[in-house]
C-alpha cells in the first residue's frame, strides 16, 4: 500500500472534491473516523463519491464512522 495515497484525495468528481475542500478536507487521512452522515450532507457529495472514499480508506485499514 502506498502511504502517499493518504496525503491526497482519491479521484472524485469535481463537485465532491470541491465539497471536501470547502469543508477543509484535503487528504484521505483527514477523513478517517469522520461520520459518513456528515460527509453525505455536503453539497456535491453523493453515494458514488462516498463509496470511493470508503473503499480507499478500507485499503489502508481505515474507515468512516
Contact 53, 5 (CB under 8 A): no
Closest CA to 20 of 48, 51, 6, 41: 41
Cβ neighbourhood burial of 41 (10 Å; 0-12, 13-18, 19+)? exposed
State residue 25's pLDDT score: 95
Contact 44, 18 (CB under 8 A): yes
Residue 3 CA to residue 38 CA, distance in Å, equals 25
Contact 41, 16 (CB under 8 A): no
pLDDT digits (tens, 9 = 90+) for 11-37: 999 999 999 999 999 999 999 999 999
Between 7 and 58, the more confident residue is 58
Amino acid at each position: 500500500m502506498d502511504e502517499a495515497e493518504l496525503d491526497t484525495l482519491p479521484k472524485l468528481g469535481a463537485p465532491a472534491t470541491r465539497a471536501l475542500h470547502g469543508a477543509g478536507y484535503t487528504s484521505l487521512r483527514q477523513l478517517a473516523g469522520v461520520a459518513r452522515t456528515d460527509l453525505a450532507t455536503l453539497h456535491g457529495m453523493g453515494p458514488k463519491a462516498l463509496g470511493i472514499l470508503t473503499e480507499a480508506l478500507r485499503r489502508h485499514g481505515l474507515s468512516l464512522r
